[in-house]
């Protein structure tokens, strides 16, 4: 069983029903819809199709709707792109509707004259083209090309020394959120987060829509400013995305790997999930297998303890979307046995978020399961909290989360090591729960061994406060269980 989850982006290269089914079979646990591209109708169709594929496969597949955010971009260019050479003069002005050329281009920059000072750097696109500001005028910046290259229209613009305070949600973002909530997205990917206030604003916008309160919030860390406020962002977000594309432009490239490790560890300490994204298998946009460097990059994200790894262009526009998912699956499975669980169990957890009792129950479940070689830890859960607490300990024992709430199961699709399944109907009581838990675990995991069950005692619905070992008696069919628990010489309750 693979523990690290796979998040794949849906796009023109993967929207066919057959392709989506192949990606799920290859191991995709969740899908990302990029609201930066496409129309409302396309977004709604993507959401409906992904949901239908999940139902057909009998799986709760999660959907993350990723809004564009306040990214600053160039306007249109006459021929679609322009080549800039070192030493060339290029003007950025506010005439965004006027096609650009080799001498000037419109830029969607609020208060452009305040965006930079003389001598400040300006970075374009993926960071391959650098400009330096030479003159500042009321409606334009005159720059000189430092490192040249091809620049496409609508490319991103970065002002590393500027602090442009714009709303994290544009009018388009708010509209896209409404579309996503209406059609059942499970998570909102919030772009260009700076601090906790941005996350709280997005939470208020979500909560204003019917059903929006059930949508989780993923804060995309792609600004250097966000790194300075990482802990406070983790207090209010459900998870973070290590968005290495834009972040790799704002922070020194030689520090990007260290920042990735710091973010994943901070998310773990805060009890939040983490997603590593951007160019995981970029060569597979046009190639059927990854490069050695890409395979190593994915393996390092797995060893870092990321809950999920994400594919972008590889599945959105690539020629081999299912193969890309398959390679992530293969690399993660090969790497996960080398994860050092002790490194995660020794992480201090903030007492405000995790009570002593909850941590003790999770630790007891893992210790018991590993001690007896259990086939699974079964965690009935309403909100998913119990399953997430157990998953944080990074045990190799599979975690089977049972819930009657489909939204809870879909939220757990991005949590490391958790398999979510609908809770079976029971008549109530611990004996019935134990019987049901054993049956589900037996059908899900073919390996032998007992089952460790967490539960609320004495009645269902109480906070999780019980850990119990469920073993079959010596019946020919272990699913045939007695109606009353009995105890062996060790004091272990059997059914």
Q: What is the pLDDT of residue 350?
A: 58
The segment with the largest mean pLDDT, out of 13-17, 245-249, 258-262, 481-485, is 258-262
- Which is the CATH superfamily of the domain at 5-69+168-336? Phosphoenolpyruvate-binding domains (3.20.20.60)
Q: What is the pLDDT of residue 464?
A: 85
* 299 pLDDT tier (thresholds 50, 70, 90): very high
Q: Global pTM?
A: 0.87
Q: What is the pLDDT of residue 108?
A: 80
CATH topology of domain 343-494: Pyruvate Kinase; Chain: A, domain 1 (3.40.1380)
* 476 pLDDT tier (thresholds 50, 70, 90): very low
pLDDT per residue as tens digits for the range 344-378: 887 766 554 456 778 889 999 999 999 999 999 99
32 has catalytic annotation: yes
**Cα distance between residue 28 and residue 12, in whole Å:** 17
Lowest average pLDDT, out of 68-82, 88-102, 182-196, 378-392, goes to 68-82
What is the SS3 assignment for 309? strand
Pairing type for strands 451-455 and 81-84 reads unpaired
Domain range 81-158, CATH class:
mainly beta
Q: What is the pLDDT of residue 31?
A: 97
> Residue 156: pLDDT above 70?
yes
The alpha carbon of 429 is separated from its chain's Cα centroid by a whole number of angstroms, namely: 36
Mean pLDDT of 284-293: 97
73 has catalytic annotation: yes
Task: Encode 280-317: b = buried (16+ Cβ within 10 Å), e = exposed.
Answer: bbbbbbebeebeeebbebbbebbbbbbbbbbbbbbbbb
**Cα distance between residue 29 and residue 381, in whole Å:** 19
**Cα distance between residue 148 and residue 81, in whole Å:** 13
Q: What is the pLDDT of residue 472?
A: 75
List where CATH 3.20.20.60 sits in the chain.
5-69+168-336
What is the SS3 assignment for 446? coil
Phi, psi of 89 (to 5 degrees): -90, 135
Beta bridge partners of 190: 219
> Residue 401: pLDDT above 60?
yes
> Residue 488: pLDDT above 50?
no
Lowest average pLDDT, out of 59-73, 255-269, 450-464, goes to 450-464
Tokens, residue 122: 């300006």
> Residue 218: pLDDT above 90?
yes
pLDDT per residue as tens digits for the range 417-438: 999 999 988 777 788 888 888 9
Q: Which residue has the tokens 């374009």?
A: 124
For residue 351, how many C-alpha atoms fall within 13 Å in the half-sphere facing its CB?
A: 1
What are the percentages of helix, strand and coil residues in the chain, rounded to 5?
Answer: 35, 25, 40
Q: Which residue has the tokens 């523990």?
A: 3
Tell me if 64 sits within 8 A of 185, measured CB to CB.
yes
447 has catalytic annotation: no
The segment with the largest mean pLDDT, out of 91-100, 134-143, 296-305, is 296-305
220 has catalytic annotation: yes
Tell me if 203 sits within 8 A of 212, measured CB to CB.
no
Q: Which helix (H) or strand (E) holds 344?
A: helix 341-345
Would you call 149 exposed, middle or buried from its count of C-beta atoms within 10 A (0-12, 13-18, 19+)? middle
Local structure of residue 463 (DSSP, 8 states): P
Q: What is the pLDDT of residue 161?
A: 77
Mean pLDDT of 317-321: 96
Mean pLDDT of 272-284: 96
Task: Give every CB contact of residue 171 below 8 A, 6+ residues apart in sequence.
Answer: none
Mean pLDDT of 404-416: 95
Q: What is the pLDDT of residue 371?
A: 95
Q: What is the pLDDT of residue 283?
A: 97
Tokens, residue 204: 């208020």
Closest CA to 180 of 214, 154, 152: 214
pLDDT per residue as tens digits for the range 44-74: 999 999 999 988 888 889 999 999 988 788 9
Catalytic residue among 4, 9, 143, 278: 278
Task: Give every CB contact of residue 430 below 8 A, 6+ residues apart in sequence.
Answer: 455, 457, 458, 466, 468, 485
Q: What is the pLDDT of residue 481?
A: 36
* 494 pLDDT tier (thresholds 50, 70, 90): very low
Q: What is the pLDDT of residue 461?
A: 64
List where CATH 2.40.33.10 sits in the chain.
81-158
Catalytic residue among 3, 32, 59, 244: 32
Q: Which residue has the tokens 């757990």?
A: 412
List where CATH 3.40.1380.20 sits in the chain.
343-494
> Residue 480: pLDDT above 70?
no
The segment with the largest mean pLDDT, out of 52-61, 119-128, 175-184, is 175-184
pLDDT per residue as tens digits for the range 13-48: 999 999 999 999 999 999 999 998 889 999 999 999
Task: Tell me what the pLDDT averaged over the chain comes to.
Answer: 89
Mean pLDDT of 191-213: 96
Catalytic residue among 3, 194, 220, 394: 220
Catalytic residue among 73, 261, 330, 439: 73
């Amino acid at each position: 069983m693979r523990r690290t989850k796979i998040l794949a982006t849906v796009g023109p290269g993967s929207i066919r029903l057959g392709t989506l089914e192949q990606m799920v079979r290859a191991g995709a646990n969740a899908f990302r819809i990029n609201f930066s591209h496409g129309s409302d109708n396309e977004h709604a169709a993507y959401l409906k199709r992904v949901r239908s594929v999940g139902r057909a496969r009998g799986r709760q597949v999660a959907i993350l709707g990723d809004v564009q955010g306040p990214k600053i971009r160039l306007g249109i260019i006459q021929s679609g792109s322009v080549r800039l050479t070192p030493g060339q003069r290029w003007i950025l002005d506010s005439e965004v509707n006027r096609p650009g050329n080799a001498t000037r281009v419109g830029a969607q920059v609020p208060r452009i004259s305040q965006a930079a000072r003389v001598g400040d750097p300006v970075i374009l696109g993926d960071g391959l083209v650098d400009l330096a500001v030479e003159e500042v005028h009321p409606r334009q910046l005159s720059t000189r090309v430092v490192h040249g290259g091809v620049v496409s229209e609508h490319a991103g613009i970065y002002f590393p020394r500027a602090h442009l305070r714009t709303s994290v949600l544009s009018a388009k973002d708010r509209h896209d959120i409404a579309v996503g909530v209406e059609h059942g997205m499970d998570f909102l990917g919030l772009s260009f987060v700076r601090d906790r206030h941005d996350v709280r604003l997005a939470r208020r916008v979500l909560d204003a829509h019917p059903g929006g309160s059930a949508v989780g919030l993923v804060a995309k860390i792609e600004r250097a400013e966000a790194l300075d406020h990482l802990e406070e962002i983790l207090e209010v977000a459900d998870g973070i995305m290590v968005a290495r594309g834009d972040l790799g432009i704002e922070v020194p490239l030689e520090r990007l790997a260290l920042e990735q490790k710091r973010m994943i560890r901070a998310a773990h300490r805060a009890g939040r999930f983490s997603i590593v994204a951007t160019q995981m298998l970029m060569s597979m946009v046009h190639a059927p297998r990854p490069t050695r460097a890409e395979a190593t990059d994915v393996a390092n994200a797995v060893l870092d303890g990321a809950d999920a790894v994400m594919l972008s262009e590889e599945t959105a526009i690539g020629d081999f979307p299912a193969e890309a998912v398959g390679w992530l699956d293969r690399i993660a499975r090969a790497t996960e046995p080398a994860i050092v669980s002790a490194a995660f169990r020794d992480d201090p957890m903030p007492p405000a978020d995790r009570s002593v009792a909850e941590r003790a129950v999770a630790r007891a479940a893992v210790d018991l399961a590993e001690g007896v070689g259990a086939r699974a830890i079964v965690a009935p859960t309403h909100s998913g909290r119990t399953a997430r607490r157990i998953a944080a300990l990074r045990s190799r024992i599979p975690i089977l989360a049972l819930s009657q709430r489909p939204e809870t199961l879909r939220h757990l699709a991005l949590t490391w090591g958790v398999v979510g399944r609908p809770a079976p109907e029971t008549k109530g009581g611990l004996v019935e729960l134990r019987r049901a838990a054993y049956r589900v675990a037996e059908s899900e995991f073919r390996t032998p061994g007992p089952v460790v069950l967490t539960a609320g005692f004495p009645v269902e619905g109480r906070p999780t406060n019980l850990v119990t070992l469920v073993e079959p008696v010596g019946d020919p069919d272990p699913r045939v269980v007695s109606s009353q628990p009995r105890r062996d010489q060790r004091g272990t309750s059997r059914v």
